[in-house]
Amino acid sequence: MSTRPMICLGLMSGTSVDGIDAALVATDGETLAAFGPRRTTPYPAAVRKRIKSVFGRDDRDHPEVLAVAEELTELHARAVADLLAVAPEDWRDVEVIGFHGQTILHAPERGLSIQIGDGALLAARAGVPVACDFRAADVAAGGQGAPLAPVYHRALVESWRHRPAGTVAVLNIGGVANFTAISPDGGMIACDTGPGNALLDDWVGRHGAGDCDHGGAYADKGTVDEAWLKTALAARFFMQPPPKSLDRNAFAPLGIEGMSLEDGAATLSAFTVRAVAVAAAQLAEPPAAWVVCGGGRHNAVLMAGLRRELGVPVLSAEDAGWDGDALEAQAFAFIAARTLKGLPISFPGTTGVPEPLPGGRFHRPGN
């Protein structure tokens, strides 16, 4: 049953490691009452390098990892303060902060999904209760621990006035790509589909050509290596049905070092697109429309490829009236509200847990 909406603040630092997204949402954890301001704080290059230096590590209590976690937390505290400084007065009475932290290793097959960040320190700095550690309970129960945004995607789709008939899929293209297919009755099927922007960003960076393929400019000039792509898509992961999830660097060993910058960008872009198409084909009911959020929606090559491969309307988040740069931060504001109320945040069709499962831990200022 719906109750009064709370003002919740969500924080997200994704696998692309481009910065911290912070967003305010008014919600009761079930429905969306209003969207508040949002703000993105880019990471300086040196900070990105330090964060990436601990990727893949499972020793979260090592001094090197703890130092990065502390720096990351302080930057999140500053992002909270900066957002609230520019927010209207009626958006400043935040009841809970949803703090995802930074994923450094996602290996559910080993019972691990590690996010670094100190929830107690953030609560102390912000003076607001913090919900965090959202994935641990799911993984402990045998789930994938990801993706977690589906319950928010469902709330968005259910509030969409001009929602298309049939199943609607929300596709997030961040470092890893994932989608949620929401049926008219509210059922959810979700999974990671494969690489999103991470491999492509790393490829461009290794060539000293920037931090990403802006707009798909490099990919647009390149030629897809179909033989490499066929080999990559033969990986066992793509044969597995949803739900399933990936680490950011799961496909990094599939080297493309012999290609030019442009051909590598074209090939990695095609990898992202066709992986989505493979996952879509595993659904019992194909979506009637797709809505794309995350940084990938700005890439014209990815969007054109998705429209070609999926054969149904592929919209950007903005076409649906949503803020595509804020969705993940908003999702963790929404999930924090659900955590506060003990509502499920993961489901059999989204992470593979046996039953709908609450999650997360709380830290209160001064506690």
Distance CA 348, CA 354 (A): 6
Distance CA 196, CA 248 (A): 9
Tell me whether residue 323 is exposed, middle or buried, using C-beta atoms within 10 angstroms of its C-beta: 0 to 12, 13 to 18, 19 or more.
middle
SS3 (DSSP) at 337: helix
Percent pLDDT > 70 in the chain is 99
Most distant pair of Cα atoms in the chain: their distance: 58
Classify 161-320 by CATH class: alpha beta
Q: Which pLDDT belongs to residue 257? A: 84
- Give the residues across from 85 on adjacent strands: none
Distance CA 200, CA 215 (A): 12
Strands 168-173, 176-182: parallel, antiparallel or unpaired by DSSP? Answer: antiparallel
Does residue 366 contact residue 126 with C-beta atoms inside 8 Å?
no
Q: What angle do CA 289, 144, 154 make, to 5 degrees?
A: 30
- Give the residues across from 98 on adjacent strands: 10, 131
Q: Which of 122, 117, 17 is nearest to 65 (CA)?
A: 117
Quote the crossing angle between the two packed helices 150-158 and 327-341, to the nearest 10°.
100
Beta strand spans in 151-255 (E): 168-173, 176-182, 188-195
Average pLDDT taken over every residue of the chain = 95
Rg for the chain, CA atoms, rounded: 19
Alpha-carbon distance values, 7 to 24, 27, 60, 325, 344 (Å): 7, 7, 31, 19, 19
Q: Which pLDDT belongs to residue 1? A: 42
Does residue 270 contact residue 229 with C-beta atoms inside 8 Å?
yes
Beta strand spans in 14-66 (E): 19-27, 32-42
Q: Which pLDDT belongs to residue 3? A: 77
Residue segments in the chain with a per-residue pLDDT below the cut of 70: 1-2
Does residue 175 contact residue 336 with C-beta atoms inside 8 Å?
no
Q: What is the pLDDT of residues 239-248, one digit of tens each?
A: 999 999 999 8
Give the amino acid at 354.
P
Q: Which of 120, 157, 91, 145 is nearest to 290 (CA)?
A: 157
The number of angstroms, rounded, from the C-alpha of 355 to the middle of its chain's C-alpha atoms is 22
Fold match between domain 6-144+328-344+357-363 and domain 161-320: yes
Strands 32-42, 112-116: parallel, antiparallel or unpaired by DSSP? Answer: unpaired
Locate the domains of the chain by residue range: 6-144+328-344+357-363, 161-320
- Cα dihedral: 299, 153, 247, 338 (round 10): 140
Quote the crossing angle between the two packed helices 300-310 and 261-281, to the nearest 10°.
40
Distance CA 270, CA 272 (A): 5
Classify 6-144+328-344+357-363 by CATH class: alpha beta
- Cα dihedral: 42, 43, 44, 50 (round 10): -170
